[in-house]
Amino acid sequence: MKKSYDRSVDILVVIFILLSLIISSFALASTEEAESKVKRVFEQIESSLSSLKSKNEFTKTNIRTELTKYFLPEVNSQYFSYKVLNKNLPKISKELKVEFVTELTSQLINTYSHLLTKYNDESISVGRGVLSKSGKIAMVNLTIVGKNKSNKAVVKLLKSSDENWKFFDIVVEGISLIDTKQAEINSSINKLGVEATLQHLKEINSRNITPS
């Protein structure tokens, strides 16, 4: 009887180890997919910025065009926008939510465009990724290496229903883009209301799209 019990325990241990290995290999594969996505996208951006500089076409408008081409298709715009709107979502009608997604996505690209106007041939090194407990969010480390200093960043991606990874946030030196925008929008809605805040975003985006 004891031998039978021991065999049952041994079988359970083997099953547990096998399941652990399967889960571990699955998590590794998922982080590798996210890391690969980040590397591919940022290599495209880095290459396009270098090309603009070499052709003396390094303007905010051209940077925005390159980001719209290479970065925007890889962003989960709705998730980003809804995270920014946060507690204000219940106050906003379905129609206005669509408009907010459009304007906040434009703000996202404008923010990146502004930051990248300071690009000075820095290189971007993609590090290891970490999965959330749910396996739906990946956080991938970046190191932005410049001539005089390096900056650390973390890119956050969400796994979509089609198993594709999409960007939704970046944290640079501990500062999250979503948190920053969320504070701005909360403050604006509290002061101006929903529709006035949307109009204000449209005006800002209209000015930023003006060629420079």
Write the pLDDT tens digit of every residue in 40-63.
998 999 899 999 999 999 998 999
Measuring CA to CA, which residue among 139, 149, 133 is closest to residue 176? 139
pTM of the model: 0.80
**Better-predicted residue by pLDDT, 117 or 95:** 95
Query: What pLDDT, on a 0 to 100 scale, did the predictor assign at position 82?
Result: 97
CA distance linking residue 199 with residue 133, whole number of Å: 39
Look at the domain 2-209 and name its fold.
Nuclear Transport Factor 2; Chain: A, (3.10.450)
Contact 113, 64 (CB under 8 A): yes
**Given this model, what pLDDT does residue 20 score?**
37
CA distance 191 to 116: 31
The yes-or-no verdict on residue 68 having pLDDT over 60 is yes
The band of 174, judged by pLDDT with boundaries at 50, 70 and 90, is: confident
